[in-house]
Structure 1
């Protein structure tokens, strides 16, 4: 049996070694921009959902399947194999290829003529995006010192709120002006520029020759290590509960506001010379973008400030965020006041993004350095199956059921479904509470 390479030696040799602070910042900015485009292409469909529904004659469950399940099948199915590949190949080049792939499929969504075609193309987007986050997580973890890892991963995760901002605002404006098809085409264009930049200017920090000489661990060995890491599984399932609520809300919050507050949106939009969809896209995009950025940075900063001395803080942050978020969602979808609903949405986006840095930092910190891409892909796999795969689909099915069988109609049927989605966060509170008990013992680097 081949003796494993001591993780402490590998960690010391690679965590930021040989890279200047300016070079690390450049790497982090490009990877964050890649994640921004990842979420632009992933989220633009949400602001276009109502227009697509009307144009193609879809039901809410089909909107949920298109925006969630179709994407999740390939995103989760290829996540682990691509992550394993990234552990023995050039990660910047892999990320660049992934960007080109998902950007091309996003642009092709604009040519879809029916539900089946759109479903298949969204699967292609998921396939491409499977190559982004796990490779980026391990590349960042190998390039920055441990004491700023949570903040670095939180900075990378700013791609979520910023990409959501751009996807919603840009998608809404373009859809109003040129139709939903052109919104997909324009959303995919920036990736064709960023991919060559990453391919040509980012360096792989580890020695690929040395990596290839070290025996590759098998998935069995990775699972053997993780089997003793109770914190990893609790945090992953807790993140899955948050993702279930988050992706349910993301897929249907724009349709909800258009159905429940359509007349008010029309009046507000007219004041700015806009249509309702474009106005709503800008408002939701700005609220999610700014509040999400602040929430992600706050969560990462608190984790780095207190987590080194009190590791329980890593799991306390997402637990408290869930407790704060649950009542906000309940009011957002029941108040008749659109101003209050949007204001509370901003607060919900803030607390809903605080978990990224702490959870992803712990996922990287409980495993050997060689397993980081696989660990990242596994936690994303769990989150994606629960959140992307089930959240929008189940919420769409509940909406259709409540609308037809309970005779609530399309507006209150969707309201009923969205009020049920925070159940995921309720379960997450208990999971993060349990993870607090083991996180200190499980951290290795």
Structure 2
């Protein structure tokens, strides 16, 4: 466990700046990724899209996200130039937001989403690798949780639905896409200015340059994390793609109110980036990954069966979305504490790619077909089951948290 995981021992100020900038940037990534989901009540009638089309659009981005994430992250491991790969990817996905706003048909919008997924895929694995290299291991879970969840959920799940829906209502959904592409250019410049590439001596390693899939999946934790990734990525993309439509078309919620309800998910996950990840540093990764996914059932059950105050429904959304706080743990923290540091970006991308291909690609397509056949409540029943299975699957993990492993070793001694 935790083979070769060493940091370059930069000071706390640099560590803070690193995590803050990478978290902000990943927030912009999800602002752009989620934009189509929140704008779909406007886009769907304008482009004459079916629910199956909605699912395909979500699947397409996940497919190229997974493939490019794995290939480009592996290339960054080999080249040792994570910063350069990161900056190029940011510029490309920002351009894709503009292209989405120009789309006049399903096929043109599909092309823009495919390209956006290819650009955004490697950003999280490369960013988390920089965190692993530079942040004190005692605070690794918290730092990786904040990097992946704070910005992505504050900007991608809270700010995005509120701001984008308001812009679409005032000036049209195309304007919302155009404006969504601007922040990424700014964060790329900030990363170029303030983030350093880890020095060459910090990346020297023993062993093979390349990790095979067989070797990666020989670790039980990698297998379990990949399976949980499939389940919970499915939970997220189905919720993003179909919850706005369910709220507006089935529950009769106004688009602006829907935006605020979906924004509640962002508040939940933003707080969870500190609470859930920080808790795992104290009590261990496994108990958190087992317990928190079960809370996810609150979200679909509340949406389907609660008909009272919208404020109480927002509370249910808040607690039901707590499982989002687990994502940095199974996608980054546990794999990085399981594998040799020379292959961290590759393995993180592998876990992410597995989740995106089998969860992000297949699940929204299946959910779209189910919605067209059985109604928009079908995707919500799907996420109900996914949350339960994920909690049970996490029971197979082997603990990797430094504090828990240290106590185990001390007890053995």
TM-score by length of 2: 0.91
CA distance in 1, matches of 2:72, 2:317: 35
Q: Does 1:131 align with 2:122?
A: yes
CA shift in 2, pair 1:7/1:248, >3 Å:
closer
* 1:347 counterpart (292, 306, 319): 319
Give the CA deviation at 1:107. Answer: 1.2
Report the equivalent of 1:48. 39
- SS of the counterpart of 1:421? helix
Give the CA deviation at 1:232. Answer: 1.6
Are the aligned partners of 1:245 and 1:423 in contact in 2 as well (CA < 8 Å)? no
Report the equivalent of 1:329. 300
Pairs within 5 Å for 1:7-18: 10-12=4-6, 15-17=7-9
Pairs within 5 Å for 1:38-437: 38-66=29-57, 68-87=58-77, 88-157=79-148, 158-162=150-154, 163-207=156-200, 211=203, 217-220=209-212, 223-224=214-215, 226-262=216-252, 265=253, 276-285=254-263, 287-307=264-284, 314-337=285-308, 339=310, 340-349=312-321, 351-359=322-330, 360-402=332-374, 413-436=375-398
Deviations 1:220-253 (A, max 9, x none): 2x642x2331012112211321221121111111
CA distance in 1, matches of 2:306, 2:352: 34
Report the equivalent of 1:405. none
Give the CA deviation at 1:299. Answer: 1.1
Deviations 1:5-34 (A, max 9, x none): x986x534xx142x1110111111110011
- Select between 90-99 and 29-38 the one with higher mean Cα deviation: 90-99
- SS of the counterpart of 1:78? helix
Give the CA deviation at 1:347. Answer: 1.2
Unaligned runs of 5+ in 2: 407-413
CA distance in 2, matches of 1:201, 1:421: 40
Are the aligned partners of 1:72 and 1:126 in contact in 2 as well (CA < 8 Å)? yes
- Select between 106-115 and 339-348 the one with higher mean Cα deviation: 339-348
Give the CA deviation at 1:280. Answer: 2.5
Are the aligned partners of 2:47 and 2:106 in contact in 1 as well (CA < 8 Å)? yes
Deviations 1:351-374 (A, max 9, x none): 222313432211110000101001
CA shift in 2, pair 1:364/1:415, >3 Å:
same
Task: Kindly name which structure, 1 or 2, has the bigger radius of gyration based on alpha carbons.
Answer: 1
- Select between 334-343 and 358-367 the one with higher mean Cα deviation: 334-343
Are the aligned partners of 1:65 and 1:392 in contact in 2 as well (CA < 8 Å)? yes
Deviations 1:142-180 (A, max 9, x none): 001211110000111212311221221121011101111
Report the equivalent of 1:406. none
Give the CA deviation at 1:212. Answer: 8.0
TM-score by length of 1: 0.84
CA distance in 1, matches of 2:85, 2:269: 28
CA shift in 2, pair 1:118/1:428, >3 Å:
same
Give every structure 1 segment of 4 or more consecutive aligned residues whose post-TM-superposition deviation is greater than 3 Å: 209-216, 438-441
Unaligned runs of 5+ in 1: 1-5, 266-275, 308-313, 403-412
Are the aligned partners of 1:261 and 1:338 in contact in 2 as well (CA < 8 Å)? no
Give the CA deviation at 1:341. Answer: 2.9
Report the equivalent of 2:409. none
CA distance in 1, matches of 2:290, 2:23: 25
CA distance in 2, matches of 1:146, 1:210: 15
Are the aligned partners of 1:231 and 1:439 in contact in 2 as well (CA < 8 Å)? no
CA distance in 1, matches of 2:179, 2:8: 36
Deviations 1:96-119 (A, max 9, x none): 111100010111100001000000
Are the aligned partners of 2:131 and 2:143 in contact in 1 as well (CA < 8 Å)? yes
